């Protein structure tokens, strides 16, 4: 079973920041938080990941609470192309690679 | 550079038939994964290869499903005696075998069993 909880859906206005929440209250000390997204009819796409510190890349920012029980993915200026299902996943790297356990994710709809 | 490719993109077969789905990972990626995605659900793990060997096949639903990666690159997922419940999108992903390696996914093969 997925170890994360996300709301089923969220709407955002184009150009606005989209803040996508995720709860992972049972996360272990060595588990990372990963975010992937899946645009309709495509394979999932990696966005960002983090362990304890906040992270930022060209796609998004990841804010992890101090107790690591929840996190927020921030898309600073949402566009119509950001409409997708977003998956928050916790994963413990084990010797190189480990499977991803997906939940149902959260459908983000960016409206014009 | 080239991403993960999967062929065919669509496969329609009849119940009871045998099918093969192919995955070409990103060059140099030693880890390869197969997932299955049913409508409205997130991808579900099937099997993971590290090089030529299956390091984790715990997600294969039953012995009708089998996957190979004989030379440590291309992988084939084989399904025998297909059933209607096997209809899904089959996704392949590859990654570098390092601790935080992100997985790169292909576009998937949509399998329909009539």
pLDDT tens, position by position, A82-95? 999 999 999 877 65
- Tell me which residue of B27, B14, B45, B60 sits closest to A44, measured CA to CA: B45
**Interval A19-64: pLDDT, tens:** 999 999 999 888 899 999 999 989 999 999 999 989 999 999 999 9
Scored b (16 or more CB within 10 A) or e, A32-60 reads: bbbbbbbeeeebbbbbbbbeeeebeeeeb
Cβ contacts (< 8 Å) between A106 and chain B: which residues?
Answer: none
Q: Is A102 on the interface with B (CB under 8 A)?
A: yes
* A42 contacts on B by Cβ (under 8 Å): 107-108
CA distance A86 to chain B (A): 10
Q: How far is B9 from chain A (nearest CA, A)?
A: 11
A16 — pLDDT class (breaks 50, 70, 90): very high
Structure tokens at B24: 């070409």
Residues in chain A closer than 8 A to B106 (CB atoms): 43
Q: How far off is chain A from B57, nearest CA to CA, in Å?
A: 10
pLDDT digits 0-9 by tens, B14-49: 999 999 999 999 999 999 999 999 999 999 999 999
Q: For A111, phi and psi rounded to 5 degrees?
A: -100, 140
Statement: residue B1 has pLDDT above 70: no
Asked if pLDDT for residue A68 goes beyond 70, the answer is yes
pLDDT for A91:
87
Estimate to the nearest angstrom the gap between the alpha carbon of A86 and the chain centroid: 6
Q: Which residues contact A93 (CB under 8 A, 6 or more apart)?
A: A30, A32, B99, B100, B101
The reported pLDDT for the residue numbered A96 is 47
Give yes or no for residue B98 having a pLDDT over 80.
Answer: no
Q: What percent of chain B has pLDDT over 90?
A: 89
pLDDT of amino acid B25: 97
Please give the helix or strand (H or E) that residue A89 lies within, else none: strand A84-91
Contact A97 B95 (CB under 8 A): yes
Share of chain B above pLDDT 70, in %: 96
**Stretch (H or E) spanning A20:** strand A18-23
Using CA of residue B14, residue B15, residue B18, residue B24, what is the dihedral sign?
A: positive
pLDDT value at residue A7 = 97
pLDDT of the residue at B73: 95
Of B114, B91, B106, nearest to B38 (Cα)?
Answer: B91
Contact criterion met (CB < 8 Å) for B43 and A100: yes
Q: Do B45 and A99 touch (CB under 8 A)?
A: yes
């Amino acid at each position: 079973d997925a170890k994360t909880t996300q709301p089923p859906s969220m709407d955002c206005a184009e150009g606005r920041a989209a803040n996508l929440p995720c709860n992972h209250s049972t996360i272990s000390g060595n588990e990372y938080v990963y975010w992937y997204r899946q645009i309709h009819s495509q394979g999932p796409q990696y966005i960002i990941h983090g362990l304890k510190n906040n992270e930022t890349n060209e796609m998004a920012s990841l804010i992890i609470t101090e107790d690591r029980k929840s996190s927020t993915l921030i898309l600073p200026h949402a566009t119509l192309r950001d409409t997708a299902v977003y998956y928050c996943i916790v994963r413990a790297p084990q010797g190189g690679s480990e499977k991803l356990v997906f939940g149902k994710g959260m459908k983000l709809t960016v409206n014009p | 550079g080239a991403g993960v490719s999967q062929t065919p993109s669509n496969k329609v077969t009849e119940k009871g038939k045998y099918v093969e789905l192919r995955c070409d990972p990103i060059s140099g990626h030693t880890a390869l994964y197969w997932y299955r995605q049913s409508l409205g659900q997130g991808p579900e793990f099937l099997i993971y290869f590290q090089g030529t060997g299956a390091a984790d096949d715990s997600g294969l639903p039953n012995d009708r499903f089998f996957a190979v990666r004989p030379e440590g690159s291309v992988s084939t997922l084989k399904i025998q005696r297909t059933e209607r419940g096997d209809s899904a999108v089959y996704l392949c992903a590859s990654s570098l075998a390092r601790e935080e390696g992100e997985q790169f996914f292909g576009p998937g093969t949509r399998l329909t069993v009539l």
